[in-house]
Amino acid sequence: MSLLLLAAAASAAAAAPVHTVAFEQNGRTYSVDYVAHLETTARPAHANAAGRHAVQRCLTQANVTIERRITDPASGQSMSAMLPGMATLSQARAGRCTAESFRATDLASAHAEVIEARLAAAAQADKPALAATLSAARSLAAR
């Protein structure tokens, strides 16, 4: 089972959706990436009516968290932080739960528009916190 989880984590990292914005403060322009991280789980669900055979389905659910990565293009230095909040995405497939069910790439591609909209909304809502983070980092570096 641990190999299955490692494979799921590797596929999620390879296909993490990213929203990039340029943020200017104090005459410097920073590149800010908002990266969606998906942690997937899958569980079997059986739907059956009285007197009929059960139809097996696999319910896949992903918790989506967002990481903010700030990069100074001039120096190449960067810092990152996880933003508060989490969204949940789900989908159902016919059949048994297998290693394919845990693939975050399938879930990410099925909900690509929702994830992109969430990343864009997070970037917009994060502007005051981003400005405060850069101001704090600048004042600490000046000391």
**Over 50: is that where the pLDDT of 96 sits?**
yes
**Over 50: is that where the pLDDT of 10 sits?**
no
- pLDDT band per the 50, 70, 90 thresholds, residue 95: confident
| Mean pLDDT, all residues of the chain | 82
Determine the Cα–Cα distance for residues 13 and 17; give it in Å rounded to an integer.
9
Measured CA to CA in angstroms, residue 64 lies from 1, 86, 88, 101 at distances of: 22, 6, 6, 17
Is the pTM higher than 0.85? The answer reads no
Name the DSSP letter for residue 84: S
Determine the Cα–Cα distance for residues 111 and 100; give it in Å rounded to an integer.
17
Determine the Cα–Cα distance for residues 92 and 37; give it in Å rounded to an integer.
20
**Over 80: is that where the pLDDT of 52 sits?**
no
Q: Structural domain of residue 64, as residue ranges?
A: 2-142
- Residue-wise pLDDT for 53-94, tens only, equals 767 888 888 899 999 999 988 888 899 999 999 999 988 888
Residue type (1 letter), 20: T
Q: How many CB atoms lie under 10 A from the CB of residue 22?
A: 9
Count of structural domains, the chain: 1
